[in-house]
Amino acid sequence: MSAREANRIADEKNLDLVKINPGSTPPVCKIMNYGKFKFDAAKREKDAKKNQKVTDLKEIWLSMTIDTHDLETKAKQCIKFLKAGDKVKVSIRMRGRQQAHASLGVDVMNEFYEIVKDASNMDKKPMTEGRNILMILSPKK
């Protein structure tokens, strides 16, 4: 039907003529209460945002000379973060002469990953970046 006739019908019913798909030929329109439509759309968007899970990036610091029990304690904390759905950034800061032996820090990182591998996936392998060695873990689905 013509746009003029559709507008007349909408005015008789005290409703609005809303273009649903203006790009098609002919444009698709609907007679509805536009204020209520906007309110319902905003409400649906708000509910969708409320049910969304935001993942945080938690950080765990290790040292190159960490002992096994301390490593296990840090791994337990890492598993707790992963089970909560957060990503974990594991890092080691090398000090002084430790920078000459960065491979030892990478070995510590790999040992840490062996402990937490049941609960995590490795997003970024342990790599030396300046004075730091970084590894990023994400939770397993």
pLDDT in tens, 12-55: 998 888 888 888 888 888 898 888 989 999 999 998 888 877 77
Q: What global pTM score does this model have?
A: 0.62
Going by C-beta distance under 8 Å and a sequence separation of 6 or more, which residues neighbour residue 52?
none
DSSP state of 12: H
Quick one: which of 87, 126, 123 has its CA closest to 109?
Answer: 126
Rounded to 10 degrees, the C-alpha dihedral 100/104/108/111 comes to: 150
Q: Where are the domains of the chain?
A: 3-50, 57-139
The CATH architecture annotation of domain 3-50 reads: Roll (3.10)
Run of H or E including 20:
strand 16-21
CATH number of this structure's domain 57-139: 3.30.110.10
